[in-house]
Amino acid sequence: MNKPPENIEAINQAAFEHCIFPLAEMDAVRRDGPHIWVGGQGVELTDNNGRTFLDMMSSHTRANSLGYGNEEIPRAIYDQLVKLHYVGTVDNFVEPAVALAETIAGLAPGRLSNLMFVSGGSEAVETALKLAKQYQIDKGGKPRAYKVISRWNAYHGSTMGALSVTDWLGTRHVSEPGVPGTSLIPGPTRYRNPFGMEDEPYADFCAAYLEQQIIHEGPENVAAFIAEPIMQAHGVQIPPPNYFPKIREICDRHGVLLIIDEVITGFGRTGAWFASEHFGVEGDIMTMAKAMTAGYFPMGAAITRKEIIETIPMFRHVHTFSGHGGGVAAATTNIAICQRDGVIANARDNGRYFLDALQSALAGSPIVGDVRGLGMWLAIEFTADKATRQHFADDTVKAVVQRMKDMGVLSSAIGNAMEMAPPLITTRDQLDRAAEVTAEAVRDIA
């Protein structure tokens, strides 16, 4: 098993001939070759050179929350596809889709109760945005509410609506002007921000900024504010506890719906079913995808309150593969495994263990400014100067990630930070190994 194929060169060549590499830096891909993976087991991935890596990213997309080689989920998908693979949307559901919606409503914060299945994160965000706009129109009082406020460095996806509330990765600029009516405001960041403020006062300032932006745009024009509970850009930006309560209050005061985008955080990543739980915040609409199926089937969803969906006589939005039987079976089985095996508690406890291990292994490093994390989502923020917290202008972070890869551990460079998002099932021995390799790579590059 996992033996490297003999025709690596031909496969690499064919990849260049026939594939598009989304968001890849093509000079680097041409230099280093594409990554072709041939097998995975537990938290290990094997490439077509026969090299095996400890995958501390749950795949490049952070979706593979149960790692690799799970047999229960594929079996459940197979059984459902053979029984009834798909029937369509509107008022048609494969039977287990209804039970899954009920289960997720039970896991979601507070009053979030009614859910629309889609095929991924961007579609979930599109659904949330349209739901917010249509609610404002159908409810009356805000018939022209086409504006949505988002945040600097947000990532909400690549389809045109989701892209329009996205700032991170430069994906937005090639599609300007996107969907009109979006504005961006600052969001809380840890360790450094453009105004040199401490974390909590800066979070207060960011919340106050939202209110001013709503007033500036005209509250009657603003449908929604969208935020990731923990922003990914520049590494796991956990907001201070004062942020979301203020955001909730401000949205309520102005009749602006709060969309919480849990696409990357949902289904256990932070040691809770949803990251909103850590901050005591309930969105009016919440999105999810990625780890919903542990990466075994493309699926997402947007969930909202009963009052919101009941205000809308006909939701004018549809995707062909909403509630596909394969995704329904995968998500249902993933949730059952997480409940049976204590996966979320493992993510919480082992995540804390990993954070402690990284913090002590990196203490005193001249280039590490901050080590932070929640559950199995961690980041190391680098600095060229601890006094000024200046970030590196060069490729230092990428060099650390490459050094770790050379030593057999996969991590990711994300702006000024290095990120790790291990599968939720990762053991303490595996986390010890990842912490050792991280410390060695940081020492080598410093």
Q: Which residue's C-beta sits nearest to ligand PLP?
A: 121
Instruction: Classify burial at 432, counting beta carbons within 10 Å of its beta carbon; exposed 0-12, middle 13-18, buried 19 or more.
Output: middle
Residue 31 CB, nearest approach to ligand PLP (Å): 25
Q: Determine if 235 is a binding residue for ligand PLP (CB under 6 A).
A: no
Q: Find the helix or strand (DSSP H, E) in which 120 lies.
A: none
Distance of closest approach, residue 414 Cβ to ligand PLP, in angstroms: 11
- Cβ atoms 77, 297 nearer than 8 A: yes
Applying CB under 6 A, among 263, 338, 361, 435 the residue interacting with ligand PLP is 263
Tell me the closest approach of the beta carbon of residue 231 to ligand PLP, in angstroms. 8
- Where do runs of H (alpha helix) occur along 363-423? 396-406
For residues 136-195, which are near ligand PLP according to CB under 6 A? 155-157
Quote the crossing angle between the two packed helices 428-445 and 343-362, to the nearest 10°: 30
Q: Distance (Å, rounded) from C-alpha 381 to C-alpha 416?
A: 6
Selected from 113, 232, 304, 396, the binder of ligand PLP by CB under 6 A is 232
Q: Which of 125, 203, 347, 374 binds ligand PLP (CB under 6 A)?
A: 125
289 binding ligand PLP? (CB under 6 A)? yes
Cβ closer to ligand PLP: 120 or 415? 120
Stretch that binds ligand PLP, among 121-129, 170-178, 250-258, 353-361 (CB under 6 A): 121-129
Strands 285-288 and 257-261: parallel
Q: How many CB atoms lie within 10 A of CB 399?
A: 15
Size of the site for ligand PLP (CB under 6 A): 13
| Interaction between residue 417 and ligand PLP (CB under 6 A) | no
Residue among 228, 282, 370, 419 that touches ligand PLP (CB under 6 A): 228
Site for ligand PLP contains 118 (CB under 6 A)? no
Residues pairing with 261 in the sheet: 287
- Note whether 288 binds ligand PLP by CB under 6 A: no
How many CB atoms within 10 Å of residue 363?
10
Sequence letter at residue 314: M
109 vs 336: CA distance, rounded Å: 18
Q: Which residue has the tokens 């929604």?
A: 224
Find where tokens 């002590």 sit.
Answer: 360
The only residue of 259, 264, 292, 371 in contact with ligand PLP, by rule CB under 6 A:
264
Site membership for ligand PLP, residue 121 (CB under 6 A): yes
Give the residues lining the site for ligand PLP (CB under 6 A): 120-122, 125, 155-157, 228, 232, 261, 263-264, 289
